[in-house]
Amino acid sequence: MKRVEFLKQFVRYPTLTCAIAESCTELADLITDTAELSQASMVVEFGSGTGVFTEKILEKISGNTQAFSLEINEDFVKETRRRCPEAIVYFDSAVNVAPYLKEAGVEKCDRIISGLPWASFPEKIQDKILDTVADILEPGGKFLTFAYVHGLCLPAGRRFRKNLFSRFQRVLATRIIWQNLPPAFVYCAEK
């Protein structure tokens, strides 16, 4: 998707998109490498956008690992499918993930990779999606999500961080990818 098209999505759905450009390759590599995908059996992606993480997920999982993505913006669903024709992408919200796991023949997953804009979500939605994450993740499973550095100055960004540390046994934050627009890092939370 051209940068101007991405910007149009931001103008149409600012709080859902919450970014003026797709994540850069370095951030996509960082989040998918930190997830140690070669050891995963079921990978769920939330908020695929243009498919920048999806592409890396499919590259890094092993042959018998299952993966699918949920995206709430139909134009982004189409763009992820165009970029990654082999990807399974559902046009639905992250909160509705359970039936898609059932369809894949499982109740839980061992990796969740999120591109969701946590710092722009109201408290209720943030809590609801984090409850969903905790519900569908196996013990020992990993939840990976990125955060913009400037989000740490926003009340919702700080609330998300606090929520993450209170719900998960172990939370690590990676180095910052300064070349991302805007600069971002990854949280890796283990259940």
Binding interface with ligand SAM (CB under 6 A): 16-19, 22-23, 46-50, 52-53, 70-73, 76, 93-94, 115-117
52 or 84, CB closer to ligand SAM? 52
Cis geometry, peptide bond prior to residue 182 (ω within 30 degrees of 0): yes
Q: How far is the CB of 148 from ligand SAM (least distance, A)?
A: 9
48 or 65, CB closer to ligand SAM? 48
76 or 185, CB closer to ligand SAM? 76
CB 90 within 8 A of CB 74: no
158 or 182, CB closer to ligand SAM? 182
Distance CA 1, CA 149 (A): 25
List, as one string, the DSSP characters of 55-110.
Answer: HHHHHHS-TT-EEEEEES-HHHHHHHHHH-TT--EEES-GGG-HHHHHHTT-S-EE
Q: How far is the CB of 171 from ligand SAM (least distance, A)?
A: 20
User: What contacts 39, CB < 8 A, 6 or more positions away?
Assistant: none
67 or 70, CB closer to ligand SAM? 70
User: What contacts 172, CB < 8 A, 6 or more positions away?
Assistant: 187, 188, 189
Q: How far is the CB of 173 from ligand SAM (least distance, A)?
A: 17
Q: How far is the CB of 72 from ligand SAM (least distance, A)?
A: 4
Q: How far is the CB of 6 from ligand SAM (least distance, A)?
A: 8
